[in-house]
C-alpha cells in the first residue's frame, strides 16, 4: 500500500512539474524619433501623467481595440547611449513592435519581451528607457436610457 501511494504521489509531482513552461526573455529596442517624422505620419502620442511618461501607438490593434501603451517612471532618468553603441543595438520597426505587443498582451508568445524605448534627448544624445507595456482592459458599456411609455392624448388634454 505504501508503494502504491508513493507511486501516485510521484506521478502527481511529475505531471505538475511538466506543466511549467520555461519562457525565454528577449529585449526589444525601438528608436522613437518624433523630431524627424512628418506631423501627418506620426502615430505616437507622447505625454506625462502624474509620475509616468507614456508612449501610445495610435493604432487600435490590441484586444478590446486598445492601443499599445508603454510607460516608465519619470524618476528613472534612463541610460545615456553614444552614437557608436547605438549602432550596435538591434532595433525593431514599428510593425514588429506592434506585433510583439500584440503577442505579449494576448498571452500567445512563447517568449517574454522587455521593451526599451530610445528617445533623443538634449544635445542629440540618445536615452534608453526600460518601459512597461500596459495590459488592455475591457471597457464596460454603461446603459444610460430609460423606457418611457407615452401618455395617451386624452389624458394630456384633461390636465
Residue 99 lies inside a defined structural domain of this protein: yes
User: Residue 145: what pLDDT?
Assistant: 72
Residue 153's pLDDT is what?
Answer: 67
3-class DSSP assignment, residue 44:
strand
The total domain count for the chain is 1
Residues shown for the chain = 159
Asked if 79 and 127 touch (Cβ cutoff 8 Å), the reply is yes
| pLDDT tens-digit map of 86-121 | 889 999 998 899 888 888 877 766 678 899 999 988
User: pLDDT tens across 121-137, in order?
Assistant: 888 789 999 999 988 77
Average pLDDT over residues 143-147: 73
Structural domain includes residue 147:
no
139-150 average pLDDT score? 73
Q: Is residue 154 part of a domain?
A: no
Report the pLDDT value the prediction gives residue 156, as an integer from 0 to 100: 60
Task: For residue 74, tell me if it sits in a domain.
Answer: yes
Residue 106, CA distances (Å) to 61, 80, 92, 101 in order: 11, 32, 20, 8
In this structure, of 2-16, 65-79, 135-149, the range with the lowest mean pLDDT score is: 2-16
Residue 28 lies in a domain: no
pLDDT of residue 127: 92
Q: Return the pLDDT at 19.
A: 44
Domain that holds residue 50: 39-134
- What pLDDT sits at residue 22? 43
Whether the pLDDT of residue 84 is over 90: the answer is no
- Condensed to tens digits (0 to 9), the pLDDT of residues 20-70 reads 454 577 889 999 887 777 777 678 888 999 899 999 998 888 888 888 899
CA 100 to chain centre: 9
79 assigned to some structural domain:
yes
Is 71's pLDDT higher than 90? yes
Q: Is residue 94 part of a domain?
A: yes
Q: Three-state DSSP class for 80?
A: strand
Amino acid at each position: 500500500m505504501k508503494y502504491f501511494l508513493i507511486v501516485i504521489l510521484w506521478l502527481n509531482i511529475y505531471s505538475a512539474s511538466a506543466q511549467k513552461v520555461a519562457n525565454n526573455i528577449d529585449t526589444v529596442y525601438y528608436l522613437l524619433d518624433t523630431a524627424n517624422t512628418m506631423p501627418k505620419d506620426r502615430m505616437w502620442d507622447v505625454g506625462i501623467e502624474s509620475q509616468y511618461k507614456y508612449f501610445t501607438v495610435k493604432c487600435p490593434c490590441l484586444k478590446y481595440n486598445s492601443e499599445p501603451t508603454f510607460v516608465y517612471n519619470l524618476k528613472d532618468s534612463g541610460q545615456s547611449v553614444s552614437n557608436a553603441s547605438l549602432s550596435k543595438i538591434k532595433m525593431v520597426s514599428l510593425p514588429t513592435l506592434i506585433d510583439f505587443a500584440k503577442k505579449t498582451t494576448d498571452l500567445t508568445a512563447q517568449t517574454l519581451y522587455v521593451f526599451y524605448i530610445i528617445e533623443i534627448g538634449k544635445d542629440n544624445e540618445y536615452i534608453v528607457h526600460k518601459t512597461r507595456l500596459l495590459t488592455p482592459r475591457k471597457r464596460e458599456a454603461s446603459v444610460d436610457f430609460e423606457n418611457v411609455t407615452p401618455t395617451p392624448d386624452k389624458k394630456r388634454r384633461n390636465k
